[in-house]
């Protein structure tokens, strides 16, 4: 058998419901590739969020459960404590993780639970119609900030990763983006490192991925990735934010 580059085995052969140019499809595939490479498909338990990725269990060919809105890290904590030898990760959007689930995220990190969080940040509530999220950047127009987000009225964008970095229980934080093949490969490396650290019992880790939402940004898919490079990165700088030995 020669080398070929095809759909990963952990991904089911179904069409996804995501919009053209949505980052979720890419992140789903990257996670499946990492799970195939680590050969842990049989011992992985994922927790899906509420949001656009709510149907992730239809696309992943490994055990996946569903949690109430924002309570994903709490459900993952319970699963990991019962099954300490399984790979347990949560997949969350910014509305799920940074708004309604802030408490669960911060306390799971503070307790130093040995889980991985994959945080897909597109700056809007994609599932419900593009409303403003805590992570919406200043100057961005959304359905509920028609005059654009202003710091004096709507506050500043919430930088979850920088907040989590001060907690001693958190051991690995990295922010990446999905703008070019180079950055997508960096994202894959970050997710792989996070999963490996969990299997080595090194503690809580989180990877934030800056993802495009062409539908609710009102841009074409290609303009969306340009916007990440030109505007979003200024608020959310990419790179390793924290890595303990």
Question: Hey, which residues between 203 and 222 contact another protein (CB under 8 A)?
Answer: 214, 221-222
Tokens of 23: 């980052």
Question: Hey, which residues between 29 and 68 contact another protein (CB under 8 A)?
Answer: 29
What value does the CA radius of gyration of the chain take, rounded to a whole number of Å?
Answer: 17
Coil, helix or strand at residue 174: strand
Least gap, CB of 232 to another protein (angstroms) = 17
According to the binding rule CB under 8 A, does residue 229 interact with another protein? no
Least gap, CB of 186 to another protein (angstroms) = 11
Coil, helix or strand at residue 61: coil
According to the binding rule CB under 8 A, does residue 190 interact with another protein? no
**Phi-psi bin for 117: left (phi > 0), alpha (psi -120 to 50), beta?**
beta
Least gap, CB of 222 to another protein (angstroms) = 6
Please choose, out of 19-27, 69-77, 167-175, 191-199, the segment that lies near another protein by the rule CB under 8 A: 19-27
Cα atoms in the 13 Å half-sphere on the side-chain side of 187:
26
According to the binding rule CB under 8 A, does residue 21 interact with another protein? yes
Cβ distance to another protein smaller for residue 5 or 147: 5
Closest CA to 94 of 219, 198, 197, 235: 235
Residue showing tokens 């949505």: 22
According to the binding rule CB under 8 A, does residue 24 interact with another protein? yes
Q: Quick one: which of 9, 128, 151, 180 contacts another protein (CB under 8 A)?
A: 180
Q: Which residues contact 141 (CB under 8 A, 6 or more apart)?
A: 147, 148, 218
Cβ distance to another protein smaller for residue 10 or 142: 10
Cβ distance to another protein smaller for residue 134 or 214: 214
Spatial separation of the C-alpha atoms in residues 188 and 63, rounded to whole Å: 21
Residues lying near another protein in the complex (CB under 8 A) are found at 1-2, 4-7, 11, 15-16, 18-26, 29, 180-181, 184-185, 214, 221-222, 225
């Amino acid at each position: 058998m020669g080398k070929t580059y095809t759909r990963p085995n952990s991904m089911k052969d179904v069409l996804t419901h995501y919009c053209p140019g949505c980052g979720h499809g890419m992140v789903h595939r990257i996670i499946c590739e990492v799970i195939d490479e680590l050969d842990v498909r049989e011992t992985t338990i994922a927790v899906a969020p509420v949001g656009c990725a709510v149907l992730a269990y239809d696309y992943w060919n490994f055990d996946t459960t569903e949690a109430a809105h924002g309570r994903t890290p709490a459900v993952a904590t319970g699963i990991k404590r019962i099954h300490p030898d399984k790979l347990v990760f949560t997949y969350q959007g910014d509305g799920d993780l940074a708004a309604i689930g802030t408490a669960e995220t911060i306390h799971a990190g503070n307790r130093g639970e040995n889980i991985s969080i994959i945080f897909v940040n597109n700056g809007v509530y994609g599932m419900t119609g593009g409303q403003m999220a805590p992570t919406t950047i200043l100057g961005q127009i959304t359905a509920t900030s028609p005059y654009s987000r202003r710091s004096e009225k709507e506050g500043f964008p919430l930088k979850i990763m920088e907040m989590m970095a001060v907690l001693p229980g958190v051991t690995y934080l990295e922010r990446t983006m999905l703008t070019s093949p180079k950055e997508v490969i960096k994202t894959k490396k970050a997710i792989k490192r996070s999963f490996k650290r969990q299997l080595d019992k090194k503690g809580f880790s989180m990877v934030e991925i800056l993802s495009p939402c062409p539908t609710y940004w009102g841009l074409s898919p290609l303009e969306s990735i340009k916007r990440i490079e030109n505007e979003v990165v200024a608020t959310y700088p990419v790179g390793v934010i924290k890595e303990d030995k």
